[in-house]
């Protein structure tokens, strides 16, 4: 499948510290939990894709695709990367295409994202046949000054990663390289009223409070999905 271009917009990074041994037990062989301050980090990221299209196609022909990810931070051969447990998205054809041609663990969900003043209201309910139910509702907003991620060790750890891994339906490991400008993040607040995503992947709700960051977004180019 050809590489893709898109924009990622109105992102919340909701991150919990997790015992590295707990995280390693949820990861496939070959990936190791990456740690910061001695903890692995479990992440939920609501946002919307805009202008999703094959690389080289004009932006006007792209589609909008609201999305909700469950992910963590990993290394393989010393390369800091992301591992996706799931990607919930609106749009049956987009989900089917992502699963068949990009080997990504996408799940069909009913999703809405609305921006009102400086607040983002996000709702997602997984409707994928045969999947475990997952429901997420949150309102989030930036609270601090912008920080260039490379200038702050923790935000750099969270977002300055240019490869992600997934496990395909046939059990094989896949990876995709990602190209974008460095992130700018804001400290954020969130009112999360419903979240059953972590339980759908066998995680207990962490004891610690999550750390929130917001980004208005950036533009992205992804490579073809490659078998490990």
The angle formed by the CA atoms of residues 169, 67 and 3, to the nearest 5 degrees, is: 65
Give me the domains of the chain, ranges plus CATH numbers. Answer: 4-227 (2.40.400.10)
139 burial level (CB within 10 Å; 0-12, 13-18, 19+): middle
Positions of the chain with pLDDT under 50: none
At 228 the pLDDT is: 86
At 83 the pLDDT is: 97
Note the pTM of the prediction, 2 decimals.
0.94
Question: DSSP character for 39?
Answer: B
Q: What is the pLDDT of residues 182-213, one digit of tens each?
A: 999 999 999 999 999 999 999 998 989 999 99
Q: What is the pLDDT of residues 4-17, one digit of tens each?
A: 999 999 999 999 99
At 117 the pLDDT is: 87
């Amino acid at each position: 499948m050809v590489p893709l271009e898109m924009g990622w917009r109105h992102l919340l990074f909701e991150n919990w510290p997790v015992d590295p041994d707990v995280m390693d037990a949820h990861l496939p062989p070959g990936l190791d939990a990456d740690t910061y301050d001695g903890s692995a980090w479990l992440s939920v990221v609501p946002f919307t894709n805009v202008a999703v299209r094959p690389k080289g196609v004009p932006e006007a022909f792209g589609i909008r695709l609201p999305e909700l990810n469950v992910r963590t931070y990993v290394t393989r051969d010393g390369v800091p990367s992301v591992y996706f447990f799931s990607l919930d998205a609106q749009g049956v054809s987009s989900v089917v295409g992502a699963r068949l041609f990009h080997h990504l663990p996408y799940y069909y969900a009913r999703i809405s994202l609305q921006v009102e003043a400086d607040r983002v209201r996000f709702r997602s309910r997984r409707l994928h046949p045969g999947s475990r139910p997952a429901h997420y509702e949150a309102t989030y907003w930036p609270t601090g000054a912008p920080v260039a991620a490379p200038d702050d060790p923790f935000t750099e750890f969270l977002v300055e990663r240019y490869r992600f891994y997934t496990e395909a339906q046939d059990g094989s490991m896949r990876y995709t390289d990602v190209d974008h400008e460095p992130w700018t993040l804001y400290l954020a607040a969130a009112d999360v009223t419903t979240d059953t995503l972590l339980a759908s992947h066998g995680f207990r709700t962490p004891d610690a409070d999550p750390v929130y960051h917001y980004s208005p977004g950036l533009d992205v180019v992804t490579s073809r999905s490659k078998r490990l």
